[in-house]
Amino acid sequence: MPVLPRASSPSKIAVIGAGIAGLASARTLVQAGHEVTVFERGAQVGGRTGSCETPFGTFDHGAQYFTVRDARFRQALATAQGTFRPWSANAVRVLDPHGRVAEASLPAREPHFVGVPAMDAVAREWAQPLLHAGSVELLTHVMRIEPDALDRKRWQLQTSGPGDSVHVFSGFDTVLLALPCATAKALLRASSQAALSRALDDVEVAPCWTLMLAFPNAVQPTLGTLGPQWNAALSTHHRITWLARESSKPRRSPVERWTVQASPAWSQEHLEDDEPTVLAKLHKAFCEVTGIRAEPAYAEVFRWRSAKTMTPLGKPMLWDAQTGLGVCGDWCLGHRMEDAFVSGLELALAVNAG
């Protein structure tokens, strides 16, 4: 993270969400001398860079890879050496309906990187100092932000979890929401912060149904007979927008595994469908695009209610120095891991500036 001057008056700060944006904020603010606690409803840090572990190996069922354009992101990644590697997939563009290849190799505009051994490795590395200091409350869902019962100029958080427990964490000068847009809006509304919630009204984020398939009986050298020669593809199939062979990523299990992302429009249309129905439809599309007709030994779907930002906020973050409330996340700027990092960093810089 960029080196910040020590804060003249350290604050007690709550960061809600331990995805890339929340971790970028929290680490920067700790470095500036603030007392930071991160609240994360999941069992792990990393948010939508999360990976799914199965008996056949991991699936990057959220972010697939990342790119690096901002010098500050590059600098922060240098502190996490060894947790990511270049991934030079032979990616193609395929056409509906039978996987006809339209462009044999997509132009490599910039290097693509993946976390190793899984996408969330970078987030886990960045979280280490915070976890070590006991500054991350995992399995802790923030239900409401409200004025502190003992000091109305400060904030307290009502939380639920771990398990059935409920807690109140109090005495915060500042509360930062590093959440998907819809989640941030819901929490702000539940916390009677309608004005800040309304500021997010124009943001649009599409959902994504993700299919994960494993074929342990296929062995790498015989792949030519099992499926396509490419390892990743942008697809114009009406159901599918992206396919990637997980086993082509560095330091992954060699078991033949595919992650398939449904298109934003199809995911939206089928958002409330049941999992078996979605699985069957996406699997059929996968067979059409790849030509792989073998029965998978493992097949699961995962529904991301917030995946790809269609209309971003158009500014890096929102910060209200009067109330001490701030909001960040990838959707402020775009739909990439790097956008989440820049948003979280910019919010921390604004908070530290007062």
Ligand X SMILES: Cc1cc2nc3c(=O)[nH]c(=O)nc-3n(C[C@H](O)[C@H](O)[C@H](O)COP(=O)(O)OP(=O)(O)OC[C@H]3O[C@@H](n4cnc5c(N)ncnc54)[C@H](O)[C@@H]3O)c2cc1C
**Residues forming the site for ligand X (CB under 6 A):** 16-22, 39-42, 47-49, 62-66, 141-142, 178-180, 183, 187, 208, 210, 261, 304, 307, 329-330, 335-337, 339-340
Using the minimum distance from each CB to ligand X, give the nearer residue, 156 or 218.
156
Q: How far is the CB of 173 from ligand X (least distance, A)?
A: 19
At 213, is the secondary structure helix, strand, or coil? strand
Using the minimum distance from each CB to ligand X, give the nearer residue, 66 or 319.
66
Using the minimum distance from each CB to ligand X, give the nearer residue, 178 or 289.
178
Q: How far is the CB of 322 from ligand X (least distance, A)?
A: 23
Q: How far is the CB of 158 from ligand X (least distance, A)?
A: 10
3-state secondary structure 123-173: HHHHHHHHHHCCCEECCCEEEEEEECCCCCCCEEEEEECCCCCEEEEEEEC
Using the minimum distance from each CB to ligand X, give the nearer residue, 182 or 226.
182
| Six token digits for residue 265 | 């429009």
At 1, is the secondary structure helix, strand, or coil? coil
Using the minimum distance from each CB to ligand X, give the nearer residue, 37 or 210.
210
Using the minimum distance from each CB to ligand X, give the nearer residue, 49 or 218.
49
Phi, psi torsion values for 223, nearest 5 degrees: -60, -30
Q: How far is the CB of 157 from ligand X (least distance, A)?
A: 9
Q: State the DSSP H helix or E strand holding residue 127, giving kind and residue range, or none if neither.
A: helix 121-132
Q: How far is the CB of 174 from ligand X (least distance, A)?
A: 16
Q: How far is the CB of 299 from ligand X (least distance, A)?
A: 17
Omega before residue 216 within 30° of 0, cis? no
| Six token digits for residue 295 | 């029965």
Contact between 58 and 246 (Cβ < 8 Å): yes
DSSP H helical ranges for 261-334: 264-269, 275-290
| Tokens 């690096």, located at residue | 68
Gap between the Cα atoms of 155 and 129, Å rounded: 25
